[in-house]
């Protein structure tokens, strides 16, 4: 399918041109603020689900979507975040720039151990210099 091929190509390009070292170095040290209409915590499954008008802010990072599922390890460390929306959005200010890098997709998956964001379905990436 051509559309799937294009989405995979966009993902591959994003991984090549958007290394995490370009993000503001202070973002990871900032508190994480989450807003949503509802939140459900399941300690047994190590999952928290935020639904309705989800907004996440950490430093210059801003993510929005309709639903966000956060998975934790048994030690309560962040493992994976899945944001879905129509579209889900992500933006971040790189070091030495005043122009935000932006991305959107129907589904975004963040894998904390690898510091990797995967965009799935109708993925769009906007980055200065591209």
Total of domains in the chain: 1
Can you tell me the mean pLDDT for 13-37? Answer: 62
Q: What's the pTM value of the predicted model, to 2 decimals?
A: 0.76
Question: Which residues, in sequence order, are bridge partners of residue 126?
Answer: 102
Give the pLDDT confidence score for residue 30 in this predicted structure: 76
Q: Examine the pLDDT at 7 and tell me if it is beyond 70.
A: no
Give phi and psi for 62, each to the nearest 5: -140, 125
- Residues of the chain with pLDDT > 90: what percent? 38
pLDDT tens track for 29-59: 778 888 999 999 898 999 999 999 999 988 8
- More reliable by pLDDT, 83 or 29: 83
Report the CATH number at residue 97. Answer: 2.60.450.10
pLDDT tens track for 60-76: 889 999 999 999 888 88
Domain of 25? 2-126
């Amino acid at each position: 399918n051509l559309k799937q091929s294009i989405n995979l190509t966009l993902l591959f390009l994003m991984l090549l041109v958007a290394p995490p070292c370009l993000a503001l170095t202070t973002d990871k040290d900032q508190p994480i603020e989450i807003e949503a209409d509802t939140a459900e915590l399941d300690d047994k499954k190590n999952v928290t689900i935020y639904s309705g008008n989800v907004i996440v802010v950490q430093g210059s990072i801003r993510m929005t979507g309709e639903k966000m599922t956060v998975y934790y390890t048994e030690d309560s460390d962040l493992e994976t975040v899945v944001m879905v929306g129509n579209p889900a959005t992500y933006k971040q200010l790189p070091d030495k720039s005043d122009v935000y890098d932006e991305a959107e997709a129907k589904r975004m998956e963040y894998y904390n151990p690898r510091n990797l964001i995967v965009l799935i379905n109708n993925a769009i990436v906007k980055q200065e210099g591209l």
